[in-house]
Each structure stands twice: as structure tokens, then as C-alpha cells.
């Protein structure tokens, strides 16, 4: 039977999307920040991120959340216990 390249490509993309969505959902389902307001994790410039980071420290999905933020280049807010500056330093090295 000949292989239909288009169907195979679409099937591969579908499986990759399902896998990615499943991974994202698994950590988002236990996200402690879902119980806090968005201003808590997206504080105004110059505001403290200490409380958000403390909540992240107790979150089961912290590592996956941080990986997601680094992979998707999330620029704003606290993700996985790190501020945008801390994620930038982690990704690009400290200067
Ligand atoms: S690590 Fe922090 S930002 Fe990430 S899901 Fe948990 S509480 Fe939310």
C-alpha cells in the first residue's frame, strides 16, 4: 500500500500536538497560581515578586512551568518561581 505523505504528516503533527497539550495540561491542573489573581504573578513594574515565588516553591508543577516559560519565551510575570529577569539570566547567562 502506498504511503500518503500528507496524511502521515498530519497524523504526526496531531500526535505531537496532543502530546504537547497533555504535558501542558498536566502541570496546569495542579498550578497553585490558578487560585491567586493574575496581578499576583504579573505584578506592576517595581513591585515585589516574593509572595508569588513562595507559592511557586510549593507548586508541584514548578519545573514543568519553568520549562514551558523558557521554551515559549514568556517575557512577563513569574513562572516556575523565577521573574522575567531571572529567566533571562538563566537562558542567556548572567551578565
Ligand atoms: S510554578 Fe508558580 S507560576 Fe508555575 S504553575 Fe506553579 S504557582 Fe503557577
Given the CA of residue 77, which atom of ligand 1 is nearest to it?
3
The answer to whether residue 7 scores a pLDDT higher than 80 is: no
**So what's the pLDDT on residue 48?**
92
In total, how many domains does the chain have? 1
Is the Cβ atom of 68 under 6 angstroms away from ligand 1?
Answer: no
Which domain covers residue 16, as residue numbers?
5-92
Average pLDDT for 30-44: 87
pTM: 0.73
How does the average pLDDT of the chain come out, rounded?
A: 79
pLDDT at residue 14 in the model: 47
Percent of the chain with pLDDT over 70: 72
Whether 82 is in the pocket of ligand 1, judged by its Cβ within 6 Å, is no
3-class SS letters over the chain? CCCCHHHHHHHHHHHHHHHHHHHHHHHHCCCHHHHCCHHHHCCCCCCCCHHHHHHHHCCCCHHHHHHHHHHCCCCCCCECCECHHHHHHHHHCCC
Amino acid at each position: 500500500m502506498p504511503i500518503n505523505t500528507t496524511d502521515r504528516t498530519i497524523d504526526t503533527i496531531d500526535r505531537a500536538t496532543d502530546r504537547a497539550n497533555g504535558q501542558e495540561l498536566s502541570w496546569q491542573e495542579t498550578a497553585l497560581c490558578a487560585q491567586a489573581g493574575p496581578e499576583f504573578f504579573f505584578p506592576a513594574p517595581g513591585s515585589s515578586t516574593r509572595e508569588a515565588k513562595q507559592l511557586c516553591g510549593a507548586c508541584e508543577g514548578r519545573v514543568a512551568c519553568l520549562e514551558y516559560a523558557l521554551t515559549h519565551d514568556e517575557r512577563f510575570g513569574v513562572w516556575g518561581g523565577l521573574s522575567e529577569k531571572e529567566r533571562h539570566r538563566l537562558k542567556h547567562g548572567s551578565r
